[in-house]
Structure 1
Amino acid sequence: MKYDKEKRHGVTNFGFVTNLRTFVQEVNELLNTDEREYRAHELNAVVDDFTENGKVIYKNKFGKITTSENALYAIFELGKKDKLGESIIAYYQRPRIEKNWTGIHFTTTKELEKEIKDNLMFRLGDIQFQNWQDGLQFLEDLKTKCIPEKWDYKSHQSGLPHPILKAYIENTFEKLKAENDGVKILRSDDGKYIVFNSGLLDKFFHEIFIIVHIVKEGDDLYYRDPYILSSLTDLGKIGFNVDSKRIVKQDDLPEPATFFTNINEVIFHPDIDIDRNYDKFTHIIEERRERFPMEDRDRDTTELARKLDNSINYAIAIAKRNYKLVVPMYRPQEKKIQLLMPIYLSGSFTKSPDFALVLDLEHGIYTPETILPLDAAYQNARLITKPDELWLNPDDI
């Protein structure tokens, strides 16, 4: 069967949907009780209608209306109200104009304007800097203090320096906030500062801790202007005490994030079957075709499926002889451990793999969820540990 781009439609046609399993629930939770709930096909129809009839509203990074080529936000007006009576919109965004759209997000125009304003600041996920220079300097200082490591890709271009380090701090902080309701984040007595364990070591093998300001604006709290803890006395100066009786000591400092508790979560077991079911292969081959090498993108779906099948078999054969081949990663969006299997469509192992196959272990069987380009795979894998350089190496990406 020849691949047909026209088969794709709706929310996945416009861009990569990071919340494919939950987006219908997310918009319905916003709806005013007087509004009828959406179904997936209705949202798909909205996106198709807007896209085909030129009704998408495109805005640049400053929130000004622009062309699709120069936009960072693509907005769809749903025509329904939220619980406060505000009109709900759906939108996609992208970090730079040459990147692909990702979504699908739901909010109101007022809230999106607020987000656009926040995005003009330099951000490390939820952590904001008042200006870009401070953010860039923070990353540089952190890189300088760490045990030497590659935080940049050799070939993959990034709009910012040290993209691996940036992603590492962003996702580590998100994990710490979610882990046991943030129990590993230490808060000052007056609530104006927090300190967390970065999980990184400095050149003297000492743990690196990061202090963040807490700023309250109305009912909202913001994480602002982080800096690296240089001395325990710094904490006493800004209000960190234990039981209001003594200053914080080394043993009081928080532990790093925990990504797994059982070693079997991060080891690939070649004897466990991989469920190569129709729906998963359809998703990977038809909806992620742009992640395949250029020379394979126009191949028949069945031909690509055979190549993918063979590549999985090659990887399993090697994994039986080298347990380091398949590496663990942490998926922040779903807060779980997954595995990354290198896929060599050509069957040649003398160069970098074409992409990584993401495997979930569910009910005693591996399920292929999607494929990731090598830069995204490395960033997710680096959260757990620095990967072995067998195939996932920044110098080759």
Structure 2
Amino acid sequence: MKMKWNSERSGVYALGYVQNANTYLSDISHLIQTEVTEKALCDNLKEAYDEDRVINFYYDNYGNLQTGEFDEKRTCRYAIETGFEMPNMNPAYPPDPVYAVFIKDGYGTWSGVNFSTKYKMENMFNAYRFGSISFKNYNAANSFIISLEENLLPGEVWNFKSSVPDDFRPKTQFDILQSYLQYVFEKLVSDYTNPESKNYKKIVFSIDHKYALFNTGLLNKFAQDIYLVGEVYNRKDNKFIFSSPFIAPSKVDLMRKYQFASASLYPNVVEFFHSLDDIIYDSEIEIDISADKLTHIIEDGAKRNRFSEKYTQMYKQGELPAITSILIAAIDNARKIAKRNYKFVVPQYRSERRGEPGKIQFLMPIYLDRQYGEKPDFALVLNTEIMPDKTKIYTPETILELSWAYNNARVICKPEDTWLNPTTIDRSPMDGDESEDTL
């Protein structure tokens, strides 16, 4: 068995979605230092596919990179020979074969196309990332996160009750802490060059720019700020890879060993909102539940198994009006409870994605069967929209499983334990790989 060749397409397009359709020929031409034509590349790829000159990558249960037979579920990267070679910098060594690389996302879609040598691929895929925070491998990342958790101020749980295994790669032992660090650093990088942001230049670089330092927003056992230091790689404008992080040592060591200037230490904590009004849900504001939003929430939720078996079966049997009535009633009940407990609906931070800036949203717990003593079925995500007359209105965007909701909410602050309690939540695999590797 091997990955599917789409016979309705040709060349790289037959292997998956091509994200760099306008540049992939120039990409490989630049790499091998010779112009490559579309026909030559297409012919070579089809020949390599027919002869099974493909490397299939997957991660074992310990998070380590492996190669083997293609498996529809486990294989998450594959590389196919292009028939072209990259000149070696050392003329004593032969040129390196160049591969076309495709990556599978959480929806099962293959996309590319990146071009790389086998050595670079293996180094990249073996690395483990929390977004742009990178480690050489899974073991290094897991050891770091365990050590960091041991240094934290006691009293907070940083992992869920249990975790459903990911098809691709396991999370570290403290997956909530892993997610928290990713979002904090992502926000600092996004706002670094914006003088209007409260996070302007809250990442500090060493004098030689080999290292960077940021405030995690976490406290250690002595209630002191925890800063992380990491190596700077692939810096382009304000974006870069924060590699092999470690807890910052003393100010003396930072200056002597890592070349930080004393005047630049230490940055303040990240800020995700401008005022308290941004993160307090107002139960008096209308929720605009349109037909389009209901269609997305119910149909998409059912297809992604975000409903219980009972409501999934109702959806399959065409009982959409019944589900709609129950959902609207659950939303009305949540609003009633929120009027009496302003902490019932909690804020979350949705990170920047697909060119859309990060923003504050609200998470409303939905109890379809009104069993308020148990866990809610899911969290309804609400956006805040400002109308032309300056009034506010909430619009539902999607629904989230509780583990996703907790991770997003924890970025703002530790949620109350009323319904978002990690000791009672099973972590579900993410729809998309939040630490996706790229070449």
**Structure 1: which amino acid aligns with 2:215?**
N
Are 2:402 and 1:374 equivalent residues in the alignment?
yes
**Structure 2: which amino acid aligns with 1:164?**
I
Are 2:213 and 1:195 equivalent residues in the alignment?
yes
Q: 1:274 matched to which residue of 2?
A: 287
Rounded Cα–Cα distance in structure 1 between residues aligned with 2:138 and 2:100? 31
Rounded Cα–Cα distance in structure 2 between residues aligned with 1:338 and 1:362? 10
SS of corresponding position for 1:261: coil
> Structure 1's 104 and 248: CA in aligned 2 closer, same or farther, altered over 3 A?
farther
Deviations 1:174-197 (A, max 9, x none): 111001326110000111100000
Rounded Cα–Cα distance in structure 1 between residues aligned with 2:71 and 2:414? 41
Q: 1:150 matched to which residue of 2?
A: 157
**Structure 2: which amino acid aligns with 1:190?**
D
Are 2:343 and 1:303 equivalent residues in the alignment?
no
Match of residue 324, structure 1, among 343, 358, 361: 343
Shift of 1:218: 12
**Does the 8 A contact of 2:205 with 2:260 survive in 1?**
no
Q: 1:352 matched to which residue of 2?
A: 375
**Does the 8 A contact of 1:90 with 1:104 survive in 2?**
no
Q: 1:258 matched to which residue of 2?
A: 271
Are 2:401 and 1:396 equivalent residues in the alignment?
no
Match of residue 165, structure 1, among 177, 181, 191: 177
Q: Which has the larger radius of gyration?
A: 2
Rounded Cα–Cα distance in structure 2 between residues aligned with 1:217 and 1:350? 50
**Structure 2: which amino acid aligns with 1:151?**
W
> Structure 1's 237 and 30: CA in aligned 2 closer, same or farther, altered over 3 A?
farther
**Structure 2: which amino acid aligns with 1:152?**
N
Q: 1:186 matched to which residue of 2?
A: 204
Rounded Cα–Cα distance in structure 1 between residues aligned with 2:108 and 2:347? 25
**Structure 1: which amino acid aligns with 2:279?**
V
Shift of 1:254: 0.8
Rounded Cα–Cα distance in structure 1 between residues aligned with 2:110 and 2:103? 5
Match of residue 412, structure 2, among 381, 384, 388: 384
Shift of 1:217: 10
Shift of 1:331: 0.5
Deviations 1:300-329 (A, max 9, x none): 222111111011011001000000000000
Q: 1:124 matched to which residue of 2?
A: 130
TM-score by length of 2: 0.68
**Does the 8 A contact of 1:259 with 1:330 survive in 2?**
yes
Give matches, 1:50-69, under 5 Å.
Answer: 59-61=56-58, 62=66, 66-69=70-73
SS of corresponding position for 2:217: strand
Q: Which runs of 5+ in 1 are unaligned?
A: 1-23, 35-56, 76-85, 94-100
Q: 1:47 matched to which residue of 2?
A: none
SS of corresponding position for 2:344: coil
**Does the 8 A contact of 1:211 with 1:228 survive in 2?**
yes
Q: 2:309 matched to which residue of 1?
A: 294
TM-score by length of 1: 0.74
Rounded Cα–Cα distance in structure 2 between residues aligned with 1:91 and 1:133? 22
**Structure 2: which amino acid aligns with 1:110?**
F
**Structure 2: which amino acid aligns with 1:136?**
N
**Does the 8 A contact of 1:63 with 1:116 survive in 2?**
no
**Structure 1: which amino acid aligns with 2:219?**
L
Give matches, 1:92-131, under 5 Å.
Answer: 92-93=104-105, 101-102=106-107, 106-110=111-115, 117-131=123-137
> Structure 1's 322 and 221: CA in aligned 2 closer, same or farther, altered over 3 A?
closer
Shift of 1:224: 1.4
SS of corresponding position for 2:413: coil
Rounded Cα–Cα distance in structure 1 between residues aligned with 2:24 and 2:371? 57
SS of corresponding position for 2:232: strand
> Structure 1's 312 and 128: CA in aligned 2 closer, same or farther, altered over 3 A?
same
Instruction: State, as a whole percentage, how many aligned pairs show the same letter.
Output: 34
**Structure 2: which amino acid aligns with 1:194?**
A
Rounded Cα–Cα distance in structure 2 between residues aligned with 1:314 and 1:229? 47
Rounded Cα–Cα distance in structure 1 between residues aligned with 2:116 and 2:359? 29
Shift of 1:103: 7.3
Rounded Cα–Cα distance in structure 1 between residues aligned with 2:125 and 2:184? 20
Q: 1:223 matched to which residue of 2?
A: 242
Match of residue 75, structure 2, among 71, 75, 84: 71
Shift of 1:295: 1.5
Task: Give the CA RMSD over aligned residues.
Answer: 3.2
**Does the 8 A contact of 2:349 with 2:409 survive in 1?**
yes
Rounded Cα–Cα distance in structure 2 between residues aligned with 1:74 and 1:291? 30
**Does the 8 A contact of 1:156 with 1:375 survive in 2?**
no
> Structure 1's 310 and 116: CA in aligned 2 closer, same or farther, altered over 3 A?
farther
